Each structure stands twice: as structure tokens, then as C-alpha cells.
Structure 1
Amino acid sequence: MALYKRAFGLGLGLKPRFTTKIASTRSSRHVSQAVDSTVKRAFLVDTLALVRNLESNGLPSKQAEAITFAITEVLNDSLENVAQSFVTKSDMLKSEMTQETNLSKFKSEVQSSQEHHFSLLQRETEKLRNDIDKMRSELRYEIDKVTAGQRLDLNLERGRIRDELANQNAETTNLTNKLDREIHALRAQLEAAKYDVIKYCIGTLVSISAVGLAVIRVIL
């Protein structure tokens, strides 16, 4: 009803498009054909039935035609606005084909990139493996070298300790022999001193005995 009022207001403000006045039925058909040939768009309403309905409600023929034309224009403009918000089926198919092409291209690029990265990863892995093997061999060589050096140092230290022990044993033996010789010499000296003391004691006793006998003889 509001649309009718708006269209009716537009119809009152429009100037008459037709100068000849004909009968209601023929005029309505002529208006429908004129609007169709002028606008050249598909109508969403039956313009003839709408004109007849307006004329049956007491509107003049020109106002009914103007209102019908205004309603048709509004509906067609609305249809165009709605159509501009959507795409056609061909455009949609073209967009889908473009998206499928882009998707296939993206898949191929991703696959080639994955293959490239996989090959790079394999090369890096092989390089790391070779580096690890090289480091292992170098580490094994260094360990063997250090072990051999330690063994050599240990053998040298053992030889040095053995030589020192032999020298100490020789020195100990020499000291022992020297002490034995000195002990034997001291024993010999003690024996000689003992003989001298015994000799002196015997001589002293003999002298004392002789003196005693002489004194006794004198006294007697």
C-alpha cells in the first residue's frame, strides 16, 4: 500500500506522456507495450492488470499509466541493484575454473617446493652424516694418540721408578755393607780392647800379688 502511495505521488508529479485519449482497455494495452518497448526490460508485474485495477479504483487512465510505469521502473531498478550484487553463472564458472587453475598451480608449486626442500634436506643430512663420521674418525685418532702418549708416559714413568728403586736398592745395599763392615771393625776393636784390658788387669793383679808377697816377706 505504501508502494502504491509512493507511485501515486510520482504519477501525480509526472507530465502526461500520451496526448490522445482512447478507451480504457486499448489505452492500457498501449501503455504496456510502450513501456516494454521503451525500457526493454522484463517486467515483474502484469502492467495491464495493474492499470485496469487502478482504473477500476477510480483513477484516470493517465495517472494509472504513470503509476504503473513508476512501479515498473522501481522494480526494475531494484532488480538491477540486486543483480549487481551477484554474479552470473558463466562468471561463477570462470571464477571456479580460475580458482581450480590457481589451486593446481599452487599444488604443483607446493609439491615442487617440497621436493626441492626434501632434496636439500637429504643433501644436508648426508653432509651432516659425513661430518659426523669425519669427526668420529678424528676423535678416535685423537683418543688413540692420547692413549698411546699416556701409555708411553706410563711406561717411561714405570722405567724411571724401576731405575730409582734399583738405585735405592743399590744404595741401601751399599749402606748395609758399609754398616756391616763398620760393625765388624767395631767388634774387632772391642775384642782388642777387651784383650788389652784383661792383659792390664792380669798384669796389675800380678804386680799387686808380688808387692803383697814382698810386704808379707818383709814383715815376717
Structure 2
Amino acid sequence: MEPIIKQGPKLLRQISKQRQHLQKDIVSGLEEHVARASKQIEAEANRRFEAKLTSVCNHAVHLGGNSGVCSSKFQAVSLPSSSIAKRFMHRQISQLVKPNGNRAFLVDTLGLVRRLEAQGVPSKQAEAITAAITEVLNDSLENVSHSFVSKPEMQKSEMIQESNLSKFKSEVRSDIDKMRSELRRIRDELANQNAETTNLTNKLDREIHALRAQLEAAKYDVIKYCIGTLVSISAVGLAVVRILM
């Protein structure tokens, strides 16, 4: 039992050191986890923002490329002369105003016909060419007006994107703050456990020292009793020997 008591403080110190190393490993692991999570969240936010920006740019480029498709209509125009004349008379007024009442496109069809006729183009062909050009321009303008957004809508979209991004950043900051508070709480718990472990170690050391002192005192008492017993036995033996002799 005495060797076990002697090894007790050493074992307690080893346990305390192992627990301290374990606590340090846990704290460092949590700090690395928080830093890694923060970097991942920031990278995810940047990736989403870049993806949205790239999508908007690609959409704008795609819509800009669609405006060139209307030029193919100019090569496929083959209208009867009567329908061309009617459409020309209708287009000469309808070019100026869109159905919603807003001015959309202004073209001098009569001046264009006169120029073509001055270049030696027959009247019907000049009217057909003018009608085709006007139709292509109107279709292109209508496509652009339906495809692209206005400046207020773009500003509104930017405000919405900025609001969403700020909301996402605030959520990220809130999550990071929660993780940091959790890390502080874990640190406090580990510190409390370390203090409790230290107190327990000190208490066990005191008890072991007291027990060791008691054992030493008991050992001395046993030795004294043994010596007294041996002396008594020796005295009795000598007395018996004298009596017998």
C-alpha cells in the first residue's frame, strides 16, 4: 500500500498535465474551426456575389446579341405591292408612338423613299425597302425595350442585391459572434474544470500526506510494541532459565 501512496501524487500530476494538454488541444481545435468556418462563409459570400454579377453580365451580353437577329428579317421581305403600300401608310404614323403612348422611334419614311427614288430605285421597291427597314428597326427596338431593364429598375435590383448581401453579411457576422461566444463559454468551462482539478489534486495531496504521516506513526508504534514484546519475552526466558538452573 505504501508504494501506491507514494505514486499517488505523481499519477495525479500526470493526469493533471494530460488534462491540460487535452484542454489546450480542444481550445486550439475550436479556434481553428471558427477561423476555417469564417473563411468558408466569407468565400461563399464572395462566390455568390460574383456568380450573381456574372449572371447579370452574361444576361446583358446575351440580350445585346439578340438585337442583331432582327437584321435577318430584312433579307426575307417579299410583300405584295398593295400590302406594302398599306403597311407603309400605317408605318409612317405608327413609328412615332408606341401603343402605351410613349415615343419609341422616329424615322422619316417619306424622306427615305424620296432618297431611294432619287438613286434610281422604283417607287414600289423604295416603299418596300423603307417598310422592311422600318419593321426591322421597330422589331429591334421592341426587342431591346422588352429585353433590357430601365435605369430605375436596375437601381432597384442593385438595391435589392445590396440589401440581400448586407443581410447575408449580418447573418454571417451573427453566426461568427455566436461561435466566438460559444468558444468563450467553452474556455470558461475548461478553466473552471482546470481549477476544480487543481483543487482536487491539492486535496488529494494533503490527504495522502496525512495518511502517510499516520502510517509512519503507526509503523513507529508497531516497532516499539515489537521491541517491548521481544524484551518481555527475553526477560521471561531468562527468568525461566534461572529457575530451572
The bucket for the TM-score relative to the shorter chain is: 0.5 to 0.7
Structure 1 residue aligned with 2:105: 42
User: Is the counterpart of residue 7 in structure 1 residue 93 in structure 2?
Assistant: no
Tell me which structure has the larger Cα radius of gyration. 1
TM-score, structure 2 normalization: 0.51
Rounded to whole Å, the distance in 2 between the matches of 1:4 and 1:106 is 44
Alpha-carbon contact 2:73-2:136 (below 8 Å) kept: no
Rounded to whole Å, the distance in 2 between the matches of 1:86 and 1:152 is 95
User: Is the counterpart of residue 105 in structure 1 residue 172 in structure 2?
Assistant: no
Which of 157, 178, 181 aligns to 1:95? It is 157
Rounded to whole Å, the distance in 2 between the matches of 1:148 and 1:98 is 74
Alpha-carbon contact 2:71-2:136 (below 8 Å) kept: no
Q: 1:95: how far off?
A: 1.6
Structure 1 residues 47 and 174, CA gap change in structure 2 (3 angstroms): farther
Rounded to whole Å, the distance in 2 between the matches of 1:172 and 1:132 is 59
Alpha-carbon contact 1:7-1:70 (below 8 Å) kept: yes
Which residues of 2 match residues 62-81 of structure 1 at below 5 A?
Answer: 62-81=124-143
Q: Aligned Cα RMSD in Å?
A: 4.1
The percent identity for this pair of structures is 38
Structure 1 residues 5 and 129, CA gap change in structure 2 (3 angstroms): closer
Structure 1 residues 53 and 80, CA gap change in structure 2 (3 angstroms): same
Structure 1 residue aligned with 2:83: 16
Q: 1:67: how far off?
A: 1.9
TM-score, structure 1 normalization: 0.55
Which structure carries more relative contact order (alpha carbon 8 Å, separation 6+)?
2
The gaps in structure 2 that reach 5 residues or longer are 1-69
Rounded to whole Å, the distance in 2 between the matches of 1:115 and 1:5 is 59
Structure 1 residues 35 and 60, CA gap change in structure 2 (3 angstroms): farther
Alpha-carbon contact 1:51-1:65 (below 8 Å) kept: yes
Rounded to whole Å, the distance in 1 between the matches of 2:235 and 2:145 is 126
Q: 1:120: how far off?
A: 4.0
Structure 1 residues 64 and 34, CA gap change in structure 2 (3 angstroms): farther
Paired residues in the alignment total: 171
Alpha-carbon contact 1:51-1:64 (below 8 Å) kept: yes
